[in-house]
Structure 1
Amino acid sequence: MIDYQPSAQCLANKTLLVTGAGDGIGKQASIHYAKYGATVILLGRTVAKLEQVYDEIVAAGYPEPAIVPLDMKGATPQNYQDMVNTITDQFSRLDGALLNASMLGELTPFVNIAGQIWDDVMQVNLNAQFYLAQALIPALQKANNSSLLFTTSGVGNQGRAYWGPYSISKFATEGMMQVIADEYEKSGLRTNAINPGATDTKMRQTAFPAEDKSKIASAEAIMPAYIYLMCDDSIGVNGQRINAQS
């Protein structure tokens, strides 16, 4: 997957939503989607970071993106529905969505997991994905072929000690992806999950502060998988857990 070579403008005339677009993998995905011709809707919590990504995309001469500031920890189902209504009013449809935003919480023994940490991780990593996906699916179905892409993890199908809330939230995310994929299998909507693997991000640095960053992939290096799953080359790929670094 990491060797995939997209054709130029393979995302031309597509409108794509990226959550967590202000930093790390979300930022690189947004820039690369724009590079290949997409109009990208940048969703994130911090306006200044979204504006920086916006500026980079415009300065490169790619299609002008849109900015949607939203804190997924506090957003309500109505907030997501209102956002999607605005998108469909402006763009008429949505061709793809990368649900990338996540939070790590704390690495701690299971019996020491704080209730508030559990609630926060589940709100961002699971509940927000659920409400957002519910709101997005009708907009995605307006396109002839569309892609809904969830973000999972190595601990999303193999539990790991001390990673409780994050790991469990990713197990649930994979399950949600599979349910949606099965329900819409005969439609133009394909739904998959992507595991970025060990990648140099702020979340990774928090989990492994002493790690040698030169030995892990950069966010830019894993972009071929993200592009593939949004391009029409991946039509027919549905209900899969894709490893970006395979």
Structure 2
Amino acid sequence: MKYSEYQPRTDLLKDRIILITGAGDGIGRTAALSYALHGATVVLHGRTLNKLEVIYDEIESLGAPQPAILPLQLSSASPRDYELLVDTLSKQFGRLDGILHNAGILGERTELAHYPVDVWDDVMAVNLRAPFVLTQELLPLLAQSDHASVVFASSGVGREASERWGAYSVSKIAIEAVSQLFAKEQVYPNVRFNCINPGATRTAMRAKAYPNEDPKSLATPEMIMPAYLYLMGDDSLQMNGASIDAQD
């Protein structure tokens, strides 16, 4: 199917509780609004509290279900931080129906021969370690859902290594493997795991990666939401261990 042409019903995510990482701007912000407008209670994660508060107010003003805010510094989160996060979600909701792992950092666009090791560590911490640990820690809450969906953010350079993409490319290739392993191992049969490649989208990260590109030539985050809704809703129940393109 062409995921870009998917037409979700308006109550697709009614009564679902969905955590979105990196919800402060770009694709994460748009997904938070979109999921909320389709009935979900969204848990907004990000580094910048005031950005999350603006989105929180926006969701409330649209008459969507009241969201929640969960600030957490992914690059430096300790086991205690994750414990508190799980505890908070458990007390407030008792379960989790989905995670959109959208948070990510670009790192440097340079050859591996010259790649700064500290930047490598930061990219791996946010793009690879955090989604793995967060998923692992939240699996017991996801297990309380009738059927939960975990969506990892991939990339074109996550399918095939591309020169000068360094740690970003490596982290995305690895996250595809993480998703497939969770899917194949089926420790929690009610939880499915898939990857999504947003494609060239008008975001701040894209502008940093391609400073000479005309942003008006790119799809907006709103235009790629059908695929994001598809993977989070019941119409993709049969899909597990897949990696789809939002702009097919």
TM-score (norm 2): 0.97
CA distance in 2, matches of 1:187, 1:109: 41
Query: Once the two structures are superposed, what CA deviation does each residue of 1:47-66 show, in whole Å capped at 9, x if it has no partner?
Result: 01101111110111111100
Partner of 2:19: 17
The runs of 4+ residues in structure 1 deviating greater than 4 Å are none
Shift of 1:34: 0.2
Note the 1:36-185 alignment, pairs <5 A: 36-184=38-186
- Go from structure 1 to structure 2 and tell me whether the alpha carbon gap of 1:107 and 1:193 turns closer, same or farther (over 3 Å shift): same
Asked whether the equivalents of residues 196 and 222 of structure 1 are also in contact (C-alpha less than 8 Å), the reply is yes
3-state SS of 1:73 partner: helix
Aligned-partner Cα distance in 1 for 2:212–2:187? 43
CA–CA distance in structure 2, aligned partners of residues 184 and 53 of structure 1? 34
Match of 1:200 among 199, 202, 219: 202
Change (3 A) 1:186 1:129: closer
Q: Give the TM-score, by structure 1 length.
A: 0.98
Mapped contact 1:104–1:203 kept (Cα < 8 A): yes
> d(CA) in 2 for partners of 1:30 and 1:134?
22
Could you tell me whether the CA contact under 8 Å between 1:199 and 1:216 is conserved in 2?
yes
Q: Give the paired residue count.
A: 246
Structure 1 spans left out of the alignment, 5+ residues: none
Deviations along 1:109-154, one digit per CA (max 9) or x if unpaired, are 1100011011110111111111101111111111011101100100
Work out the percentage of aligned pairs sharing the same amino acid. Answer: 49
Q: What is the alpha-carbon distance in structure 2 between the residues aligned to residue 186 and residue 125 of structure 1?
A: 23
For residues 78 and 134 of structure 1, what CA distance do their matches in structure 2 show? 14
CA distance in 2, matches of 1:85, 1:149: 22
Q: How many Å apart are 1:84 and its aligned residue?
A: 1.6
Q: Which residue of 2 aligns with 1:227?
A: 229
* Contact 2:143-2:188 at 8 Å conserved across structures: no
Q: Which consecutive residues of structure 2, in runs of 5 or more, have no partner in the other structure?
A: none
Distance 1:43 1:77 in 2: 17
Structure 2 CA distance for aligned equivalents of residues 69 and 105 of structure 1: 22
Secondary structure of residue in 2 paired with 1:13:
coil
Aligned to 2:239: 237
Instruction: Give 1:2's aligned residue.
Output: 4
Mapped to 1, the partners of 2:168 and 2:35 lie a distance apart of: 27
The corresponding residue for 2:31 is 29
- 1: distance between equivalents of 2:203 and 2:211? 11
Return the alpha-carbon distance in structure 2 between the equivalents of residues 99 and 201 of structure 1.
16
Q: 2:170, 2:16 → 1: CA distance?
A: 33
Mapped to 1, the partners of 2:44 and 2:188 lie a distance apart of 29
Secondary structure of the equivalent of 2:45?
A: strand
